[in-house]
Amino acid sequence: MSSEHASKKLAAGVIRNDREMSDGRTIRYYDTHGQTRNAPDLRPKEDQPGIGEIRLDSLVNEWVAMAPHRQTRIFLPPKELCPLCPTTGELLTEIPEATYDVVVFDNRSPSLRPPDGPWKLPQSLGPETPIVPAAGICEVVCYTPEHGNSFGDLSQSQVRTVLEAWRDRTAELSEQEFIEQIFPFENRGEEVGVTLTHPHGQIYAYSYLPSRVERMLAAAKLHKERTGRVLFDDLLAREIKDEVRIVAQNEHWIAFVPYAARYPFEIHVTPRKPVADLTELSLEVCDAFPSISLEVLKRLDGVFGIPMAYIAAWHQAPVRQGRDLLRLHWQITSVRRAPGKLKYLAGSESAMGAFIMDMRPEQSAQQLRDVVLGK
Amino acid sequence: MSSEHASKKLAAGVIRNDREMSDGRTIRYYDTHGQTRNAPDLRPKEDQPGIGEIRLDSLVNEWVAMAPHRQTRIFLPPKELCPLCPTTGELLTEIPEATYDVVVFDNRSPSLRPPDGPWKLPQSLGPETPIVPAAGICEVVCYTPEHGNSFGDLSQSQVRTVLEAWRDRTAELSEQEFIEQIFPFENRGEEVGVTLTHPHGQIYAYSYLPSRVERMLAAAKLHKERTGRVLFDDLLAREIKDEVRIVAQNEHWIAFVPYAARYPFEIHVTPRKPVADLTELSLEVCDAFPSISLEVLKRLDGVFGIPMAYIAAWHQAPVRQGRDLLRLHWQITSVRRAPGKLKYLAGSESAMGAFIMDMRPEQSAQQLRDVVLGK
């Protein structure tokens, strides 16, 4: 995907260096101290898994990706076998260097892969819609070489580098003509199915609009037609006006439990000046992200005094449509409703899509605000 | 809701007897042997929890129910404290009788409750949509007095009684003018959040169309406009033609893994002659349900030789619209993808609504067919 030994200057003093992995995948080092990244990947060459398929679930007209090769992927290895640690001892990991700041590399077991040739999503939707290759790109983002840490333990400057990596990936992936939606996210905790505990996130770049994006787009279109305004901006204005659900804020960002939250703890973090995606954030706004993101995650872990399982999801406008209708926001959801209790997506949520919340958003916002932050 | 000591003859020799519980709720005994059901509920009167609220999540125009009083509900009690066992010893349970066949009673911690007075769902959707009371009805269906059994252990005649109870509840709940959708379902296994292990299901009767029903309705309308045909019928025809995903069948029912399944194990069980809901099934078709439902659940438990966690969901046409567009089917989904591994709804599924399957439906259908059934 990228030429070997390419080097690129990004914002906030971040330099990106690309290297080829032994099986042809690319690893990108995002560094802030002019490090040299020449360690070769000494692992034997390995065949790449084939591309999966996407099928239309015509009952609801949504695409479902099938990636049967993922069934055998590595599952909760012990620390000494962690493939996301730097290569320091005998074990040759995904990262050939002996340390790193932030790296992004192509996923070894990707659900979605770049198509071999020209590729087009079938436009007509119905039972006759053919199966097509599962086009897309899946990447892994390692936040830190420290195995035992988590995103919330990062320094502000580390978070700033991660943000720069997300922005760079969004910009570059947007140039691929088969990509429709770019989704950086993090699953944290075994409760949400994490198979590797090393602090890391992922990026899924889809060749189709995911169901939730389609629904957000439909709601935003309707609102624009009715009012001439952007839906998200009106919802943000309500949060600011209502005040009771705000959890944290600074000059450029605001974090709140949304009015109709679906999870025991759900926080939306959004820039005060709305943008379509990460690439549109000004440098000033980027520089103000580390403090609010770290505060929000510390508040989340502080509610019960235990590390909270969460899904942290960047909602961005799609690459090729709705750019003026959907807004960037970072959605953090946690299924933990009490120290020993999780919220499960059972019958009502899973089969009907009808969410039942066990507490009001105002209550969880209060709990998050009440956390006393150390340091 | 029902007058005390009402008695009603249903199909398949089932008699329903209603009794009032000490706190005013109704318990309905569905019996096949002319049992007398006069045991009084000796528990002290208890205040009923208040009604919750529903809020519109305008980002996607979906209703979210808030039921804060449910946070303290009973959680995995030991067998000797099980509230769904008959009342035999010291413990006064939800069922005053010393045994029962099948009972249905009003949920003690309902997410949705009948409204106090006239009630109407706001029609215009947007950020200005008001919060309204969480109208609806939640009931509990106990399948058997045997605490350690499961649905799959029931006799054919017990399943027939359960089916008659579901049919009766669907008919009666449909008469409530604030009800839009009736959803009998079962969550089985701690993996899907079951808080009581006694074999039981639930019925949620919603005052609004759940999100998935809305999406099924939209897809069915589109298909009808394009082809003049009912979408589900075309999908069923494809399953019969493709054959590879069929798991079980008899003269009146067919069970298959759907073409675009989203879960490691997902089975749809549907009558060959399509109907809108349970009340429209002919007696002949009802009588053929126990054998296929038991076969399907035995196959599911047989795949890995362990009891499988599942959600079993009755999809019915809504009460007041789309009666000729949506079809009755029983959807069973399991998140278990291997003996020690679950599928989690993580970032892609949960935040984007983009499902990624680790195996093809044809593979799980084969595994289900390969199970050797005992007896």
Assign residue A180 the CATH number of its domain: 3.30.428.10
Rounded to a whole number of angstroms, the distance from the CA of B31 to the nearest CA of chain A is 27
User: Quick check: is B81 in a domain?
Assistant: yes
Task: Tell me which of A56, A358, A360 to substitute to probe the interface with B (most B C-beta atoms closer than 10 Å).
Answer: A358
Tell me what pLDDT residue A71 has: 57
In a shared domain, residues B233 and B272: yes
In a shared domain, residues A277 and A178: no
Rounded to a whole number of angstroms, the distance from the CA of A11 to the nearest CA of chain B is 28
Could you tell me if A366 lies within 8 Å of chain B, comparing CB atoms?
Answer: no
CB A199 within 8 A of CB A322: no
DSSP one-letter code for B120: -
Query: What HEC string does A88-142 produce?
Result: CCCCCCCECCCCCCEEEEECCCCCCECCCCCCCCCCCCCCCCCCEECEEEEEEEE
Tell me what pLDDT residue B348 has: 92
Domain final residue, candidates A180, A208, A236: A208
E strand or H helix at B89, and its extent? none
Give the HSE-up count for residue B160: Cα atoms under 13 Å, Cβ half-sphere: 19
Chain B environment of A71 (Cβ under 8 Å) = 337-338, 358-359
CB B338 within 8 A of CB B243: no
User: Quick check: is B267 in a domain?
Assistant: yes
In a shared domain, residues A35 and A147: yes
What is the pLDDT tens value at each position of chain A, 375 positions in all?
Answer: 444 467 899 999 999 999 999 999 999 999 999 888 999 999 998 877 789 999 999 999 999 999 887 656 666 678 888 999 999 888 899 999 999 999 999 999 899 999 988 889 998 788 999 999 999 999 999 999 999 999 999 999 999 999 999 999 999 999 999 999 999 999 998 777 777 889 999 999 999 999 999 999 999 999 999 999 999 999 999 999 999 999 999 999 999 999 999 998 999 999 999 999 999 999 999 999 999 999 999 999 999 999 999 999 999 999 999 999 999 999 999 988 888 777 778 889 999 999 999 889 999 999 999 999 975
For residue A203, the SS3 value is strand
Could you tell me if B227 lies within 8 Å of chain A, comparing CB atoms?
Answer: yes
The catalytic residue positions of B are 200
Tell me what pLDDT residue A2 has: 43
In a shared domain, residues A270 and A302: yes
In a shared domain, residues B42 and B134: yes
pTM here is 0.94
Picking from B239, B156, B151, B229, the residue whose alpha carbon sits closest to that of residue B189 is B151
Tell me what pLDDT residue B325 has: 98
Query: What part of A 143-202 touches B (C-beta under 8 Å)?
Result: 181, 183, 185-187, 192-194, 202
Tell me what pLDDT residue A123 has: 86
Distance between start and end Cα atoms, chain A: 43
What stretches in chain B show pLDDT beneath 50? 1-4
Rounded to a whole number of angstroms, the distance from the CA of B121 to the nearest CA of chain A is 15
Separation between Cα atoms, residue A242 and residue A124, nearest integer Å: 43
CA dihedral B104, B110, B116, B118 (to 10 degrees): -80
Rounded to a whole number of angstroms, the distance from the CA of B4 to the nearest CA of chain A is 30
Separation between Cα atoms, residue A330 and residue A90, nearest integer Å: 38
Question: Would you call B313 and A213 a contact, using CB atoms and an 8 Å cutoff?
Answer: no
Question: Would you call B348 and A210 a contact, using CB atoms and an 8 Å cutoff?
Answer: yes
CB-defined contacts A:B, below 8 A: 263
Task: Tell me which of A137, A352, A360 to substitute to probe the interface with B (most B C-beta atoms closer than 10 Å).
Answer: A352
Chain A environment of B60 (Cβ under 8 Å) = 212, 215-216, 219
In a shared domain, residues A249 and A303: yes
User: Quick check: is B323 in a domain?
Assistant: yes
In a shared domain, residues A204 and A112: yes
Q: How many whole angstroms from its chain centre is CA A322?
A: 20
Q: Are strands B341-342 and B336-338 parallel, antiparallel or unpaired?
A: antiparallel
Q: Which two tokens stand for residue B71?
A: 């946070």
Q: What are phi and psi of A367, to 5 degrees?
A: -60, -40
Q: How many whole angstroms from its chain centre is CA A105?
A: 14
Separation between Cα atoms, residue A330 and residue A268, nearest integer Å: 6
In a shared domain, residues B184 and B68: yes
Q: How many CB atoms lie within 10 A of CB A6?
A: 12
DSSP one-letter code for B51: P
Q: Find the residue in B nearest to A126 (Cα).
A: B223
Question: Would you call B348 and A55 a contact, using CB atoms and an 8 Å cutoff?
Answer: no
User: Quick check: is B375 in a domain?
Assistant: no
User: Quick check: is B2 in a domain?
Assistant: no
Q: How many CB atoms lie within 10 A of CB B76?
A: 12
Q: What angle do CA B148, B153, B155 make, to 5 degrees?
A: 125
DSSP one-letter code for B151: G
Separation between Cα atoms, residue B269 and residue B142, nearest integer Å: 21
For residue A78, the SS3 value is coil
For residue B31, the SS3 value is strand
In a shared domain, residues B238 and B288: yes
Question: Would you call B231 and A57 a contact, using CB atoms and an 8 Å cutoff?
Answer: no
Distance between start and end Cα atoms, chain B: 43
In a shared domain, residues B39 and B81: yes
Could you tell me if B127 lies within 8 Å of chain A, comparing CB atoms?
Answer: yes
Query: What part of B 194-223 touches A (C-beta under 8 Å)?
Result: 194, 202, 204, 206, 208, 210-213, 215-216, 218-219, 222-223
Query: What part of A 298-357 touches B (C-beta under 8 Å)?
Result: 311, 313, 315, 331, 333, 337-338, 341-348, 350-357
Note whether ipTM > 0.90 here: yes
Tell me what pLDDT residue A343 has: 76
Picking from B78, B69, B141, B144, the residue whose alpha carbon sits closest to that of residue B107 is B141
In a shared domain, residues A166 and A255: no
* Number of domains observed in the structure of chain B: 2
Could you tell me if B75 lies within 8 Å of chain A, comparing CB atoms?
Answer: yes
User: Quick check: is A47 in a domain?
Assistant: yes
User: Quick check: is B1 in a domain?
Assistant: no
Rounded to a whole number of angstroms, the distance from the CA of A315 to the nearest CA of chain B is 8
Picking from A237, A241, A298, the residue whose alpha carbon sits closest to that of residue A267 is A298
In a shared domain, residues A175 and A40: yes
| Helix pair angle (B211-227, B231-242), 10° resolution | 80
User: Which residues lie across from B28 on neighbouring strands?
Assistant: B18, B104
Tell me what pLDDT residue A3 has: 45
Query: What part of A 235-254 touches B (C-beta under 8 Å)?
Result: 235, 238
Domain final residue, candidates B172, B188, B208: B208
User: Quick check: is A375 in a domain?
Assistant: no
> Does A147 participate in catalysis according to the annotation?
no
Domain final residue, candidates B208, B241, B266: B208
For residue A171, the SS3 value is helix
Can you give the residue range of the structural domain that contains B60? Answer: 7-208
Picking from B73, B89, B79, B83, the residue whose alpha carbon sits closest to that of residue B142 is B83
Q: What are phi and psi of B287, to 5 degrees?
A: -65, -20
Tell me what pLDDT residue B301 has: 94
Question: Would you call B66 and A343 a contact, using CB atoms and an 8 Å cutoff?
Answer: no
For residue A73, the SS3 value is coil
Rounded to a whole number of angstroms, the distance from the CA of A363 to the nearest CA of chain B is 9
Picking from B124, B190, B60, the residue whose alpha carbon sits closest to that of residue A331 is B60
Tell me what pLDDT residue A70 has: 63
**Residue with tokens 């007095």, as numbered in its chain:** B145
